[in-house]
Structure 1
């Protein structure tokens, strides 16, 4: 019977997400990933080459899932308004808190001046989003604005930070804003926190 390589690869990637989110690329263990996937650990090496390459593949896969779930443009091809986009990014991180942990591990064990795995593709993805922000701004030039508008790239970076940073450092958010010490990274009132993010982005645009 032929080996289902696509299924095996998917099972390994899915099993590796929680392991890498919890322990990072250095602390994660191949045997635990293989056991969770129900796959012989020797299968990891021909598919990915090693543990660090598997980590890189996991990060890229999770970012692709974010991109697919939260596009910058709507079904009609028109850019999504930035406050709405920020709210949807917030929702995604609330449901998938592991993604920011993976990105933190990538930053911790990487060289800030060296390219990350898949950087060219990832940079192109963000360039498309910056272009969408610029296009949305041009289409809304008739609305009243106060002060000098932020460059599109700076604005997008601010949106990403506002929507996700509280999930990356929940203890800091708790100390500044108060609230629960439980596992919910958005605190006791995620809807309220989401509304604040949306409003902050709306004001950044004004």
Structure 2
């Protein structure tokens, strides 16, 4: 029985991730998610409480997958940002989900616990690297992390018309620009 519950929850998370990436939180419909997951709407409310709870679970699962697939390295921040660039290039739904999250959440909403937890360990690692002199202390750790993530995800957030032709601006060149920008930001 538990195995079926876990399989249903996983199908719901996968179907919800696709729906949220395409339509955002407001545009997503629990009935479509339930159909895509081959279950009923009641299961969404049973496991996740609400559509917002389902979105929070989708983000938490996505963040867990990202963290497990690529541990953050404060001693090689430029390459860590290159790997974040790779993740956004490999899975465009990441950029879409992150954009919807930013657009549909206000500063009054409670912080997402999984994001806060992931960032707290990154900030602690950056602070330690700053104290050791391996990373610049020109910016507080939280500002530096925000700048680095913005650089790493910048290509994914630009409109297609901004990116020059593929011949002149290949993925390796875009990645190299991310790594170089991050290197310059963190150099002591």
The TM-score by the shorter chain falls in which range? 0.7 to 0.9
Q: Distance in 1 between matches of 2:129 and 2:118?
A: 17
Q: What SS does the aligned partner of 1:72 have?
A: coil
Report the alpha carbon displacement of residue 99 of structure 1 after superposing the two structures with TM.
1.9
TM-score by length of 2: 0.86
CA contact (8 A) 1:31 1:41 kept: yes
Q: Which residue of 1 aligns with 2:138?
A: 149
Q: Which residue of 2 aligns with 1:126?
A: 119
CA contact (8 A) 2:78 2:180 kept: yes
Aligned residues: 186
TM-score by length of 1: 0.79
Q: Which residue of 1 aligns with 2:164?
A: 178
Cα distance change of structure 1 residues 115 and 2 upon mapping to structure 2, 3 Å threshold: closer
Q: 1:101 aligns with which of 83, 96, 100?
A: 96
Structure 2 spans left out of the alignment, 5+ residues = none
Q: What SS does the aligned partner of 1:4 have?
A: helix
2:20 is the counterpart of 1:16 = no
Specify the structure having the higher radius of gyration (Cα).
1
Answer 1 or 2: which has greater helix percent.
2
CA contact (8 A) 1:86 1:160 kept: yes
2:129 is the counterpart of 1:136 = yes
2:182 is the counterpart of 1:201 = yes
Structure 1 spans left out of the alignment, 5+ residues = 74-78, 181-186
Q: Superposition RMSD on alpha carbons, in Å?
A: 2.4
